[in-house]
Structure 1
Amino acid sequence: MPNNDSFYKKVLDNLYDGIYFVDEQRRITYWNKGAQMLTGYGEKEVIGRNCHDIFLHLDSNGNGICSDACPIEKTITDGRKRDEESFLHHKDGHLVPVCLRVAPIQDTDGQMVVAVEVTGDHSPRHALRQQLENLQRLALCDPLTTIANRRYVEMSLNSRLEEMRRYGWHFGILFLDVDHFKQINDTHGHDTGDRVLKMVAKTLVNSARSFDVVGRWGGEEFIAVLANISRRQLPRIADRFRHLVEQSSFRLDDRLLRVTVSVGATMSHLDDTVESLVQRADTLMYRSKQAGRNCVSIGFGEEMPETSATPSASP
C-alpha cells in the first residue's frame, strides 16, 4: 500500500463522513469533502480558522458548547477520546444534528493534532431523508423548503386522528409562525425571505424525530405533528423547537441574520377534526404573538393556555 500524504488525503476525501483536523489552538488544518458536504463550507473558507468561529456547536437542547463544554478543547487538555451528540450551524443557517467523534493523534513532527469525525447520517435522520425523497416523488413536498407540504400534513393529521379513535393514541401538534417575516421581506428582499424559510424548515426537520411530521402550512407558517408524547412532555418539546430556531442564523452582508418563531401547542381530542385541531393550535400561536413573540402558548381546549419562554426583541 502506498505510504504518502496524497494517498491518505484521497482516502479521507472519499469518505462519506466529515473529517477535519485542528491544532492545539483549535485552528483547522485539514478539511475533507465529507465535511464540506455536511456543512456547506469549502476547504478555502475554513483552513486556518478557529473551528468554534464557524460551527457554533450546540448541545441537544440548543445550548452553546464551544466555550465551556467544547469536546475538542477537553481532548486537547486531557488527551482523551470523546463521542458526543450535538448540532452544528450549516453555512445556509440551519442546524444540522451530528455525532462528534474526537481523538488525539500526533502529526509527523510529533505535535498533537485533534482529529474530528462529524457524522450526520444517524439512522433516524437517514430514514427521514428517504421519506422526504418519497414526498418529492409523490408531489407532497413543498417546492421551496423541500419539506412536507400542506396536503401531506393534512393527510398525516387525518391518519393520526384515525389512530387515536381506534387505539387511543393521542398526539401533539405545534403551529409555528416566523416572527416579523413581512419586515424581513420588506427590508432585505424576497430572496432573503426565502433563505429564512429554508433555514427554519431545515432546522425544524432536523430537530424532529424520524416518525414526526414537519411541514409548511403556508407562507411563513409551519406545523409539526408529534406522535407518542404526553401533555407533560409537550411544553419541553415545543420550547426546544422554538429555541433551536432562535439559535439558527446565516450571514447577510456583514452581520448574522436570526429569526424567531411564535408557537401554539396543543394535544389531540377524541372529538377533534383536522380543522378544529389546527384552529386551536393557530389560536394559541396568536396568543404567543400577543405575549411578545418568540414564546410558546400551550392549551388543551378545556383550560386557559399557558405561555412559556421569554419573549425576545429579535425579529
Structure 2
Amino acid sequence: MDLEQDFYKSLLDNLYDGVYFVDTDRRITYWNRGAERLTGYDSEEVLGCYCRENILEHVDDKGVKLCETSLCPAVKTLRDGRAREEEVYLHHKKGHRLPVAIRVAPILSPDGKVVGTVEVFSDNTPRVISKQTIEELQRIALLDPLTEVGNRRYAEMNLKFRLAEQDRYGWPFGILFIDIDNFKAVNDRFGHEVGDDVLRMTARTLVGSLRSFDLVSRWGGEEFLALVINVDTGSLLGVADKLRKMMEQSSITYGSQTLSITISIGGTLALNSDSVESIVRRADDLMYRSKAEGRNRTTLG
C-alpha cells in the first residue's frame, strides 16, 4: 500500500498544475510541488494550516474575499458534494494577486460521505511574457529590469501606435495613470529592498488583473501606466476599479508585519486631438486629484 501511495504522490508532484487536499475543516493535508511553484509556499509552510489563514486568501474579480464566506468553492463542495470550476485570484507568497482557474472535487469515504476536497489550480494570467520575449525586450531596451514589464519607452511607443490607429480607424482606447500610495514612507520605514518588492508585487498584480489585449508599463519610480483598448468611460472605470481592488487585496509579509498597498488612479479616454504628452498629462493630473481626495480611488476625466 505504501508503494502505491508513493506512486500516486509522485504522479501528483510531477503535475504542472497545483494540487492540494483539505479536510472538512479546510485544513490542508496535501500540497504538491505545482502548488509550491504557483504560490511560493513550500509544503512545510502550509501542511496542517487552514487554507483561509493568510495563505491563499482567494478573492473574486471584484476583490471580495471568498475564504471567509460561504462563497468559498471548497465550502460549497463540502456542503453539496458537487464538483465545480471557478476563476479566482490567489495571494502569492511574494504579495501579488495571481489569477488562477480552479477545479474543486469532493473526496468521498467508502460509505459515500464527503470527507474533504481536492483542488486543482492553474495559472490563468492572461499575459504571460515568454522568456524569449523578455530577452528580446531587454535587447532593445524596452523592458523595466526590476518589474519585468515594459518601460516608459515601451509605453510611449504603444501610445503613439494607438493614437495613430484611433485617428485612422476610430478605435477608442483609454489610459490609467497609476501611483502607489505612500511609497516614500514604505522606503523610509522598510528600506529600498522592500520598496523593490512592492514595485514587483504591484506590477505582477496589475498584469494579472488586466485583459489579455491591454498592457501595463512602468512609467517611472512608483508610477505605472495601463493602456486599455476598446473602452468607453464606464468600462474604463470598471477596469480601473478592478486594478484598485486587486491591489487592496495584495500584501507582503515581513516577519510579523504585513504590508498592504493601495494605488491612486487617474484615467482618461483618448481624444482625436491628443498627443502622447497631452493624454499622459491629463491622466497624471487626474491621478493627483485622486491623491488629494484621500488616495485609493479612481478619478476619470
- Taking structure 1 as the reference length, the TM-score comes to 0.90
Q: CA deviation at 1:4?
A: 0.3
For residues 43 and 91 of structure 1, the distance between their equivalents in structure 2, rounded to whole angstroms, comes to 13
- CA shift, 1:131, in A, is 5.2
Cα distance, 1:6 vs structure 2: 0.9
Q: Does 1:35 align with 2:35?
A: yes
**Is the contact between residue 26 and residue 116 of structure 2 (CA under 8 Å) also seen in structure 1?**
no
| Residue equivalent to 1:231 | 233
User: Cα deviation per residue 1:258-281 (whole Å; 9 max; x = unaligned)?
Assistant: 011111000001111111110000
Q: Could you say which residue in structure 2 is the equivalent of 1:174?
A: 176
CA-to-aligned-CA distance 1:121-149 (integer Å, 9 cap, x gap): 46x34478875565345432111111111
Partner of 1:312: none
In structure 1, the partner of 2:116 is 113
Q: How does 1:206-245 map to 2 (within 5 A)?
A: 206-245=208-247
Amino acid at match of 2:257: R
CA–CA distance in structure 2, aligned partners of residues 127 and 196 of structure 1: 20
Q: Is the 8 A contact 1:19 1:118 kept in 2?
A: yes
C-alpha deviation, 1:109, in angstroms: 9.9
Q: Partner of 1:311 in structure 2? A: none
Distance 2:264 2:247 in 1: 10
Is the partner of 1:157 in helix, strand or coil? helix
Q: 1:239: how far off?
A: 1.3
Give the Cα separation in 1 of the matches to 2:193 and 2:60.
Answer: 30
Q: Within 2, Cα distance between the matches of 1:298 and 1:11?
A: 51
Unaligned runs of 5+ in 1: 300-315
Counterpart of 2:85 (choices 68, 80, 83) is 83
Any idea what the Cα deviations from partners look like across 1:264-308, whole Å, max 9, x if unmatched? 000001111111110000000011111111111110xxxxxxxxx
Distance in 2 between the 1:281 and 1:257 partners? 27
Shift of 1:26: 0.5
Match of 1:303 in 2: none
SS at match of 1:58: coil
Distance 1:156 1:196 in 2: 25
Counterpart residue type for residue 246 of structure 1 = E
Counterpart Cα distance in 1 of 2:256 and 2:226:
33
1:3 CA drift (Å): 6.8
The verdict on how the C-alpha distance between 1:127 and 1:148 changes in structure 2, with shifts beyond 3 A counting, is closer
Tell me how far apart the structure 2 counterparts of residues 169 and 129 of structure 1 sit (CA, whole Å): 31
Deviant stretches of 4+, over 4 Å? 107-111, 126-134
- Residues 132-281 of structure 1: matches in 2 within 5 Å? 132=134, 134-281=136-283
- In the other structure, the counterpart of 1:58 is 59
Q: Which amino acid aligns with 2:19?
A: I
The DSSP-based 3-state class of the residue aligned with 2:149 is coil
Output one character per residue of 1:84-105: Cα deviation in whole Å (capped at 9) or x when no partner.
1100000000000001100012
Question: Equivalents in 2 of 1:293, 1:129: separation in Å?
Answer: 36
Q: Specify the code of the residue in structure 1 equivalent to 2:122.
A: T
SS across alignment from 2:289:
helix
SS at 2:52 equivalent: helix
C-alpha distance after superposition, 1:128-177 (max 9, x if no partner): 88755653454321111111111111111011011101100110100001
Q: Which moved more, 1:4-13 or 1:125-134?
A: 125-134
How far is the alpha carbon of 1:211 from its aligned partner? 1.2
How far the C-alpha of 1:187 sits from its partner, in A, is 0.7
Deviations along 1:63-95, one digit per CA (max 9) or x if unpaired, are: 111122111011111111110110000000000
Structure-1 residue corresponding to 2:4: 4
Give the whole-Å Cα distance in 2 for the aligned partners of 1:10 and 1:204: 35
Give the 3 Å change call, closer, same or farther, for CA 30–108 of structure 1 in structure 2.
farther
| Cα contact 2:210–2:239 (8 A) shared by 1 | no
TM-score, normalised on structure 2? 0.94
